[in-house]
Chains A and B, each alone.
Chain A
Amino acid sequence: MDTTAPDSGTTSAGLPADTDAAVRIRGLRKAYGDVVAVDGIDLDIARGETFALLGPNGAGKSTTVEILEGYRLRSAGEVSVLGIDPAHGDLDWKARLGIVLQSATESGVYTVREQLTHLAGFYPDPRDVDEVIAAVGLVAKARTRVSKLSGGQRRRVDVALGIIGRPELLFLDEPTTGFDPEARREFWKLIRGLKAEGTTILLTTHYLDEAAQLGDRAGIILGGRLLDVGLVDELGGASARVPIVRWRESDGTPHEARTERPAEFVASVVARHGGEPDALEVIRPSLEDIYLQLVHSAGAEAHDDEEALA
């Protein structure tokens, strides 16, 4: 277990007992006319923690995050981000945040270096521009205009702009969309470096492996409510993580069993079979499997609501 993960002294809702949280949300609600986008969320994110917020499109993820960033006003509830109500966050408060939005489409007439050097000038204690360019792997493109970069490279510029101000709290909204697998792994390294430095990170992503790789805890949001919150390794509860054994009987019928002792179970199947069973698999449910299970079991009705919102 990572040392940065909050200890297991969490309440049944998965909330850490720590009151000096980087982010504290109580009863958050956001309605657009009759449509309720966020419907009563409670959540604490500890300082230094990386929290992954998961959920289908239109589930209320972006709305929640944008309320925390100060972009949107809430309809009800209490929110504190680094001790400040984001609805009244001033420039000193913004200087402590790093925000990587979903894809921007700026004209990109500036070079990577110009853009970063300029933005660094807004902050009291910015990172070194060359260090950041190196960290996002754009050294060869430092003197290239942003408009000439590929989608994935532009995304890395977005990330670089988000961290240039040495933020205490970093918002990453689907940061690796458009990255190739190698670039994603490089990006994960970068984020681990930020974590090691003590940066609190709120990550929203569609890549469940990314959430599993980076997140200390994760929350699944659906229909504007938090369906489940917990340590990434414990999300969905122990029962959701019981390994699945699949095989085919000699008559061709597929079988599936869930067991905590898959090796023993497979041995018994082999013994019964008197040989190697067909199409044998032992599966430990990934975060993605658990996520899909949770979202599906939350019901089709809730899902329809999000489609309408999306």
Chain B
Amino acid sequence: MSDTTTTPTTTTADARRADAPAHAIGTRGTRRGGADGGNRPGMLRVGVSRIGFETKGYFRSPDAVFFTFLFPLIMLGIFTAAFSASGDIVPGPGMEGVSVGAYYLPGMLAAGMLLSGVQNLAVDIATEKGDGTLKRLGGTPLSPVSYFLGKIGQVFVTAVLQAALLLLVAGTILGIALPTTSEAWLTFAWVFVLGVATSALCGIALSAVPRSGKSATAVVIPIVLVLQFISGVYLQFSQLPEWMQNIASLFPLKWMAQGMRAVFLPDDFKVLEQHGEWDLGWVAIALVAWLVIGLVVSRLTFRWIRRDA
């Protein structure tokens, strides 16, 4: 037996070179960008590319699609079917009413805005923080601005599709009469845009609360669920005790639902509101206030990773 066969090491330079033909990858010698980073794609362009990427990812996540996209539609179907025999809802004795389905449509539209924004983003971003997605992105030249453009853009794309689907089903299958005046649709447009933007920012802000990706749904869903019950989504707002209405008024969902009721219910129904008016000015003020709160909290709390002290 010779000594060479018992030598177990492979550390010599020769062994290192043995299987070392340079692999055929990017042999272009010089960097076009140069050492200064050069022509890095702009924040806006990357942000727009992220909207498409995020939207694709959203529709490939069954949980998100079911619980934040389809849920209002399913609830509207259930409400309509369950209470169709119990007659119309009327604003007062002797006044003309609307079907249960028609009454709940504004609430479901508001719930869709909340779920698409708050529940979707709070769970999504907390999960991305937990599973290493954000850490990876934080090591790339992705601007947080582009990242949030992608998130907010995704929320807008899916919320618009969701509202369109709700209105389509309501107007056709469920036979709910939709508004015909341009004034009503204009109100719908600003309440919707402002509400979705506010929801998206509040979702980003809330994503800072869960301590891990796994606890995200456990933290977020109860908050969103309670809000829906006290804000006139599942329960008729006018029948809630006043103290509960007052608590709900502190949060944005009540105002989104009220704005949507102003669009979709006959004007007579405004007597059921807290002050007997639609109060669209207050809807705008409350939503803008929450938009600013969401923005400030997001700006202060967002980190790619939990950087230690």
The 8 Å CB contact of A193, one of B25, B128, B131, is: B25
Most chain B Cβ neighbours within 10 Å, of A92, A131, A168, A190? A92
**Which chain B residue shows the least CB distance to A213?**
B16
A70 to B19, CA, bound (A): 35
The 8 Å CB contact of A192, one of B22, B53, B135, is: B22
Q: How far is the CB of A198 from chain B (nearest CB, A)?
A: 8
Q: Which of A57-79 contact B (CB under 8 A)?
A: 69-73
Spot the interface stretch: A38-46, A119-127, A250-258, A301-309. Answer: A119-127
Q: CB-defined interface of A22-40 with B at 8 Å, one 1/0 digit per residue?
A: 0000000000100000000
Residues of chain B within 8 A (CB-CB) of A280 are 1, 6
Q: Do B143 and A91 touch across chains, with their CB atoms under 8 A apart?
A: yes
| A92-B40 contact given A119-B140, A213-B10, CB 8 Å threshold | yes
Q: Do B141 and A212 touch across chains, with their CB atoms under 8 A apart?
A: no
The 8 Å CB contact of B23, one of A69, A128, A190, is: A190
Q: CB-defined interface of A165-200 with B at 8 Å, one 1/0 digit per residue?
A: 110100000000000000001001110111011100
A209 interface residue (CB < 8 Å to B): yes
Chain B residue total in the interface (Cβ 8 A) = 57
**Which chain A residue shows the least CB distance to B128?**
A106
Q: How far is the CB of B191 from chain A (nearest CB, A)?
A: 32
A134 to B33, CA, bound (A): 24
| A233-B46 contact given A71-B139, A94-B140, CB 8 Å threshold | no
Q: Do B37 and A95 touch across chains, with their CB atoms under 8 A apart?
A: yes
**Which chain B residue shows the least CB distance to A211?**
B11
The 8 Å CB contact of B49, one of A73, A121, A124, A283, is: A121
Q: How far is the CB of B127 from chain A (nearest CB, A)?
A: 7
A276 to B139, CA, bound (A): 60
Q: CB-defined interface of B109-152 with A at 8 Å, one 1/0 digit per residue?
A: 00000000000000000011001110110111111000000000
Q: Do B33 and A104 touch across chains, with their CB atoms under 8 A apart?
A: no
Q: Do B139 and A124 touch across chains, with their CB atoms under 8 A apart?
A: no
Q: Do B131 and A104 touch across chains, with their CB atoms under 8 A apart?
A: yes
Q: Do A71 and B142 touch across chains, with their CB atoms under 8 A apart?
A: no
Q: Do A125 and B13 touch across chains, with their CB atoms under 8 A apart?
A: no
A163 to B24, CA, bound (A): 14
**Which chain A residue shows the least CB distance to B21?**
A189
| A114-B41 contact given A107-B131, A132-B25, A194-B25, CB 8 Å threshold | no
B9 interface residue (CB < 8 Å to A): yes
A166 to B16, CA, bound (A): 24
A276 to B17, CA, bound (A): 34
Q: Do A128 and B307 touch across chains, with their CB atoms under 8 A apart?
A: no
Residues of chain A within 8 A (CB-CB) of B61 are 107, 109
Q: Do A73 and B136 touch across chains, with their CB atoms under 8 A apart?
A: no
Q: Do A124 and B40 touch across chains, with their CB atoms under 8 A apart?
A: yes
Q: Do A109 and B16 touch across chains, with their CB atoms under 8 A apart?
A: no
Spot the interface stretch: A11-19, A220-228, A284-292. Answer: A284-292
A81 interface residue (CB < 8 Å to B): no
Residues of chain B within 8 A (CB-CB) of A1 are 13
Q: How far is the CB of B210 from chain A (nearest CB, A)?
A: 16
Q: Do B11 and A104 touch across chains, with their CB atoms under 8 A apart?
A: no
Q: Do A73 and B6 touch across chains, with their CB atoms under 8 A apart?
A: no
Residues of chain B within 8 A (CB-CB) of A118 are 49-50, 53
**Which chain B residue shows the least CB distance to A71?**
B305
Q: CB-defined interface of B1-35 with A at 8 Å, one 1/0 digit per residue?
A: 10100111111110011011111111101011101
8 nearest A-B pairs in the assembled complex, by CB-CB distance: A92-B37, A104-B132, A193-B23, A124-B33, A99-B139, A95-B141, A282-B3, A109-B60
Which A positions have Cβ atoms within 8 angstroms of B?
1-2, 32, 69-73, 82, 91-97, 99, 101, 103-107, 109-110, 114, 118-119, 121-125, 127-128, 131-132, 134-135, 145, 161, 163, 165-166, 168, 185, 188-190, 192-194, 196-198, 209, 212-213, 232-233, 262-263, 266, 276, 280-287
